[in-house]
Amino acid sequence: SRSESNSKSESNSKSETRRIGPFHFSFFHLLKAARTVGLAFVLYNAGYQSGLADYAQDPRKFDKELMRAVVKSSGAQQVFKRETDEHKWVSDVGTRILKGARIYVEEQLNNATAREDSDAREMWLSALSKLKGEWYYVVTDAKSVNAFVSDLLPRRIFVHYGMLQMCEGSQDELALILGHEISHLILDHTRSRSKFRAITAGLELMLLSFLDPIGILSFISVALMTRVNDYMGAKFSREHELEADIIGIEVARRACFDPVKGAKVLNKFTEQLGSNESWLNTHPPNAERERLVLEAAVESKPHSACETATEQVQGMAQYLGSVRRYFRQ
């Protein structure tokens, strides 16, 4: 009877161990994952605080070094000086685009206030704050067709010389490009991409902490996660590009440019750069993008302030014409 009771107690303890064992195994791995993510956060925060300290010591030097790094990473060797025709062109168009962007954001802010939509109002207030202050235009000698704004260097618009060549002197085409880039800032796309990358990086760390770091499964998981991350990031980016295209049209309208004429630059993209159709491409296919932008540009209406200004210019031209004809008589 004792042997039977001992065997029963042993079997009960084994079954209890089997029940408790997996729980301890799961808890241990969850704790390990949390520790890994926490360590990554601590390292990131330490680097962030170190960067703030460096900036506080000498802001101008920090900005210059950062500017040099951004220009170099874009493939450029130097920037055009302010007195050059290239810089003056970008500055003239960019100043008008910034004014149009402020008008657009203020309109959206007023609409959100009238609707009593606190979330939208907060978003447009944040966008308006980003557009305030003195802006700088950086024209580089890079031959690539590109323009961008950077959160690392706020209130700066970077334009490559290759983009100016693509626009071929058309103010409307350059205005549509700059309106597009400003729209990324208005819609806070850069910060959204940063959050997306941080989330995916955290998920990767958590998953890898469950796996054997030298096992074949880890290598397969890393390769698979990289491809999934690239696909999701590219899809995310394509949506942002189309959103910026639509808002960029409205910004260009309020700056008194013609986005229908400006949309011709996308046709040049298609002709010179191809269709760029790929599920890993960060931009929509050029042909599809050209069609959507042209449709939206045609549907958009000239801003009332631009119509008034145009009427004033036309009236002044008619007045001067009549004065000339009077004196000729």
Residue 70's pLDDT band (boundaries 50, 70, 90)? confident
- Which amino acid makes up residue 144? S
Lowest mean pLDDT among 9-18, 120-129, 173-182: 9-18
The confidence score (pLDDT) of residue 32 equals 59
Q: What is the mean pLDDT of residues 21-50?
A: 56
- Classify strands 156-160 and 136-140 as parallel, antiparallel or unpaired: parallel
Question: Does 181 or 42 have the greater pLDDT score?
Answer: 181
261-314 pLDDT, tens digit each: 999 998 888 787 666 655 556 667 778 888 899 999 999 888 887 865 444 444
- Residue 180 pLDDT grade (very low, low, confident, very high; cuts 50, 70, 90): very high
pLDDT tier at 67 (50, 70, 90 boundaries)? confident
**Would you state the structure tokens that stand for residue 308, as one six-digit string?**
């008034």
| Mean pLDDT in residue range 9-21 | 46
Q: What is the mean pLDDT of the chain?
A: 77
Which pLDDT score is estimated for 205?
67
- The pLDDT assigned to 20 comes to 42
Q: pLDDT tens digits, residue range 84-142?
A: 999 999 999 999 999 999 999 999 999 999 999 999 999 999 999 999 999 999 999 99
pTM for this predicted structure: 0.71
